[in-house]
Amino acid sequence: MELRTILGLVGSLLGGGALGAVINGYFTSQTEDKRTDLDATDRLVKHWEELLKPLRDRVDQLETALEDEREISSKYRTELSSLRNKLMIFESSHFDLPLPMWMKDVKGRMIFMNDVCQDLVLAPLNLNIEDYLGKTDSEFWGKDFGKQFAKTDAKVLRTKKPLEVVHTFYDATNTEIKAMVLKYPRFHGNEIIGVGGLIKYIIDDENSINKKL
């Protein structure tokens, strides 16, 4: 039963008249006031809900983006781990190769040289790979001497085929050393990205070779 009906009955039981009317009017007024308060509260709640909705939506968006970022981050971490493993295998395989070898980019700059090559070619000159990295042969050896290497590198880049050639370098006593060198193109997919090289053996003189390398 509604509160207004109950209040009417109470007024009737009290015999009607002025007292009943007053009581009935009082309780009716209180009910209307409460209803007005409830309506005002509902409006206030609705107002705050409207204000908070964009904020809640933004929080939802950020949480979704964060989840996506976590997934992407996890994907990148997996890919990075895979690349590191491949790089480790690549580096170890080339550093462990018992032949002197190196790699250059398409501009002829030295980007890699293994320890065997460093010991054979650079150490006698009191130099190391850090002295050569990032430099072309002409920058490192001098224009006249370095052009022999640049010329054959250019041929490998042009033909995209391996090339065997005799190259010379000098030891600490300025003695000329001849070496049989194998140069080959390096590819990434179908794109040539540089030239690799290795010394197959040292030529002692015109009639003999040293295959101890």
Q: Delimit the domains of the chain by residue range.
A: 3-88, 97-210
Count the neighbouring beta carbons within 10 Å of the beta carbon of residue 208.
8
pTM, two decimals, is 0.55
Residues 6+ apart with CB under 8 A from 97: 114, 116, 198
Residue 76 half-sphere exposure toward CB, CA atoms < 13 A: 6
CATH superfamily of 97-210: PAS domain (3.30.450.20)
Q: Which residue matches tokens 């006031």?
A: 33
Q: Over its length of 213 residues, how does the chain's per-residue pLDDT go in tens digits?
A: 444 454 444 445 444 455 455 445 555 555 555 555 556 556 666 665 676 677 677 777 777 877 777 777 777 777 777 766 655 555 555 556 688 999 999 999 998 898 889 998 999 999 998 999 999 999 999 988 899 999 999 999 999 999 999 999 888 788 888 999 999 999 888 889 999 999 999 987 654 445 445
